[in-house]
Every structure is written in C-alpha cells, then in structure tokens.
Structure 1
Amino acid sequence: MSELLFDRVSVRYGLGRGAVTAVDAVSLVVPDGGVVGVVGESGSGKSTLARAAVGLMPLHGGRILLDGAPIPRRGPRPLQMVFQDPYSSLDPRMPVGASIAEMMPGRTTARDRDAEVARLLRLVHLDPATAGSRPGRFSGGQRQRIAIARALAGRPRVLIADEITSALDVLIQGAILNLLRELQDELGFSMLFISHNLAVVRYVASHMAVMRDGRVVEQGPTSEVLEDPRDDYTRELLASIPRPIQYTP
C-alpha cells in the first residue's frame, strides 16, 4: 500500500505581515498505485505542494501522510521527485552512473551498484555503456530519462513529477510521457504529476485536481473534470487551450 495523503496542508513564504500563503489548506489523496495530476497556472501553488511532500518546504499547517504515517525524514526516502529542468537537476561534474548510484539505499558492492545502474538505464531506454559519461553529453530528453532513473534508484513508493516535460519540445514530451506510463504500469508506484498542461494530465492521470491561488478549486476523475467542469476557473483553463483553425474552401 502506498497512499499519499495531503490533509489540509498549508505552506507559507516569509514571516509576519509579509508572509505569503502559497498553499492554503489543501486536501488531496494519491491512491495506492494511482496517478493524480495537479494543474494550474504559474503561482497556483502546485509546485510548492510537490516540494512540501518531499520535505523541501516546511509545512505551516496540516500534515502529509504515507500509508497513514508521517513521512520519514531520515534514511531511505519513500518519495522521490523528478524536477522540471533537466539541465540543472544533474551535477555536471558527476558521471551519470555515479549520480544514479548515490540514490541507492543501503550498502552494496561496486559490482551490484554497477549492475543496478545498468538495469535502470535500460529501464529508461538508455544504453548502459553511457554510465561513465557526464550530463553534458546528453540531450534534454536524455537527461530527463537519467533524472527518472535516478529517482527510481531510491526505490520510491511514490514518484512526484514536477512539470517534467515543460522544458522539452513536443516530440520529446510525448516520448517522456509514454515512458512514465510504461514505468508506472510495470513498477506500480503511485505518482503525483504536476503540470500546467491539461492535455498532458488527461493522458497521464486518472484523477486530477485544479489549483488556483494556493487552493484546490476542483478535483475528481480526470474525464469528469475535463468534460463537465464545475468551477469557473477550470472552464477558463479549458477555454484557453489552443484549437486548430478550421478553414473553409
């Protein structure tokens, strides 16, 4: 069981009168083995929510639970995050194999680490022979695959993907999304998928939540939310999606 629960979670930036509430009493469930998408425009609080889940932002209020218990802050992390920018999320001085290996829990022999690095690279459709190369050799899409392999090296029960395709071109976005679906089906981890792109969330997530100004304004099965939105803001997001121009002869 790997259910991630956000129970009235609030996150603030700053102190005193100048404090800004980025996440305001958000309640959300990522079910065991499920994929939940969170959408909203820039500044809606969706990335802050993701960072709070992995301990990068302190909570001002509420709680985040994994299978009914607080998420451990020491030892192997059951939640792993893949970040938006594939160019800054990897140490440019470190070979990608070493970067993946440093996320592995427990003590293993060098031989076992090398074998696991090779397995993970194959899992994300990269040649294990590239393990000794540094990130500068790889394209943005390849770096994002390495970042995914690095996150999976921690053996997460929940994977958090924060806008991981927004910095990539359209063709590469599709390949990364297909890879995520393939990995989630094969490995069975739960996933919180953050995006501003409704079409991407429709493709990846079975359930979704819409955030605005730090609050969840609507949530439910993805098909229901997108086909019959109840909140005006969700309707605005849907109306903003570019549609092909119809030419008449």
Structure 2
Amino acid sequence: MSELSFEDVTIRYGRTTAVDGVSLTVPAGAVVGLVGESGSGKSTLARAAVGLAPLTCGRITLAGAPVPTRGRPRPLQMVFQDPYSSLDPRMTVGDSVAEAMPPGSSRAERRAEAARLLELVHLDPVCAGAVPSRLSGGQRQRVALARALAARPRVIIADEITSALDVSVQGTVLNLVRELQRELGLSMLFISHNLAVVRYVASHVAVMRSGRIVEQGPTARVLTEPAHDYTRALLAAVPGSRRHPAKPGAGQR
C-alpha cells in the first residue's frame, strides 16, 4: 500500500469549477473519509484519481509519483455506488473477479484466486458460477470489493458504496471494510454523505463543500469538535450521526 496525495487539484468543466484547489492525503494503510452534500465535488475528485476526469491544474500522486491511468494492473481501483450496474450482467461472478487480476496466471490459478477472494468478502465460492442478477445488492457490492482487490491495488476508492443498500445490509458492508482494513492494511478513500458511516470506518475525515475542503483531521475530533460551521450543519442534519451505524454481525445477508 502507498500514500495517495491530491495536491492543489482543480477540475473545471467550462465555466463550472467542480473541484477547487483540493489538497488531501490518504496515508498508507489508512481509511480516510470524504464527506459532503451531493454536488460538493466528492465523486469528481474520485474519478480524477482513476483517470476518469481530467485535471485542470494540480497533481495526484501515489508514493510521490504521478498515478498511472493506463495499462494493467491499475494501482488505484474504484468501487462504485450502484451495485446493480457496476458488474457486467453477462459475466459470471467468478469471471468478473478473474478479469481484474494481473495477467500471467493460469486459468486454474485464477479460479482458485477468485474463490479465495470471494471467501475473503464473506461469500460462498459457489457464487463464482452465478450471474449478478442472482445476487442481492449487498452480495453484489461484496463482489465489487473482491473484484477491486483482485487487481492487487495500492489504494481503493469507495464512492458511496453503501448509499444504495438497505440499512441492515449497509452494516454488513461497513463491517467488511473495517475487517479488510485491519487484516490487509487496506488503504482507502471512503466517500459518503453520511457522517455516521464515516465515523464508523475512517480514522481521518475531510469535509468538502462547493468543491473545496473546508475542514479535515482525525475523525473523532472533527465529528465531536467541528471547527467549521458547515461541518456543524452536516452533523445537525443527520439523525443519529453521533452513533455508530452498525455493529459487528449486524445485518448479515
């Protein structure tokens, strides 16, 4: 795992500035939460990291070097919000996971690795033969995490990966993120509009408004002693944001 850094990143579309001079670091082995309302620029910043949105100025580096956006395997992998559209409906789960693996291994090795990754995200390896339509939303999102891990990334970017799921299933996915971080030393930029979710999974948090980072620091400090009015407003607007959204073992589906 390596440190991911956004250095004075600005992204404009015509006269619209989506991201305005953002500097943010995801330390190696850490989960950093990025929170803000819809339209604040969170997803645009994430897309820029994986080469899906061009920078107007600034730079994005991984371990001090520019992030490569071509070739395989990609050192940054993104897990998207919608588990129903992020997987190819024509491919089996096993093939989807294997497709993301670095080249060079045999078909048997790839099948074995796909089974191992499915077990890692708490899915029965038998699921490898199923198509995504046979799985629930929570199961599909765990497949998406397995697929991201298959590429052996140095950082994973999770863009609102629980917002399309039922509350009970959200707990399963959040517990899995915590477990993967603990067992693998996973480095992750975890994007969410839900401050309670970020409190549960992230050690550090950055608050984004209108394309800018208005506050950042250790999660416990930012969410219990917010320095910025916008952070306080977000906290006040989310019922239960000061409580953990899930407990280990909750909502296992």
Query: Could you tell me the TM-score, scaled by structure 1's length?
Result: 0.94
The alpha-carbon deviation at position 190 of structure 1 amounts to: 0.8
1:1-249 paired onto structure 2 within 5 Å: 2-13=2-13, 15=14, 19-73=15-69, 74-243=71-240
CA distance in 2, matches of 1:125, 1:174: 13
Q: Could you give the per-residue CA deviations for residues 215-247 of structure 1, whole angstroms, max 9, x where no partner exists?
A: 000000011111111111111101112259xxx
In 2, are the aligned partners of 1:83 and 1:164 still within 8 Å (CA)? Answer: yes
Moved over 3 A (4+): none
Give the direction of change, closer, same or farther, for the CA distance of 1:12–1:186 in structure 2 (3 Å limit). Answer: same
User: What letter is aligned with 1:102?
Assistant: E
Measured on the aligned residues, the alpha-carbon RMSD in Å equals: 1.1
In 2, are the aligned partners of 1:5 and 1:65 still within 8 Å (CA)? Answer: yes
CA distance in 2, matches of 1:190, 1:130: 27
Q: Could you give the per-residue CA deviations for residues 36-83 of structure 1, whole angstroms, max 9, x where no partner exists?
A: 000000000011111111111111110000000011122311110100
In 1, are the aligned partners of 2:32 and 2:189 still within 8 Å (CA)? Answer: yes
The number of aligned residues is 240
In 2, are the aligned partners of 1:156 and 1:189 still within 8 Å (CA)? Answer: no
CA distance in 2, matches of 1:185, 1:89: 26
User: What letter is aligned with 1:38?
Assistant: L
CA distance in 2, matches of 1:235, 1:28: 21
In 2, are the aligned partners of 1:2 and 1:189 still within 8 Å (CA)? Answer: no
Q: Could you give the per-residue CA deviations for residues 98-120 of structure 1, whole angstroms, max 9, x where no partner exists?
A: 11111001221110000000000
The alpha-carbon deviation at position 202 of structure 1 amounts to: 0.3
Look up the SS of the partner of 2:152 in the other structure. Answer: coil
The alpha-carbon deviation at position 187 of structure 1 amounts to: 1.0
Identity rate of aligned residues, in percent?
Answer: 72
CA distance in 2, matches of 1:91, 1:243: 36
Look up the SS of the partner of 1:106 in the other structure. Answer: coil
Between Structure 1 and Structure 2, whose CA radius of gyration is higher? 1
Q: Could you give the per-residue CA deviations for residues 170-212 of structure 1, whole angstroms, max 9, x where no partner exists?
A: 1100110000110111111211000000000000001000000
The alpha-carbon deviation at position 6 of structure 1 amounts to: 0.3
In 1, are the aligned partners of 2:196 and 2:240 still within 8 Å (CA)? Answer: no
User: What letter is aligned with 2:9?
Assistant: V
CA distance in 1, matches of 2:62, 2:198: 23
Query: Could you tell me the TM-score, scaled by structure 2's length?
Result: 0.93
Q: Could you give the per-residue CA deviations for residues 113-164 of structure 1, whole angstroms, max 9, x where no partner exists?
A: 0000000010011111121110000000000000000000000110110000
CA distance in 2, matches of 1:243, 1:120: 34
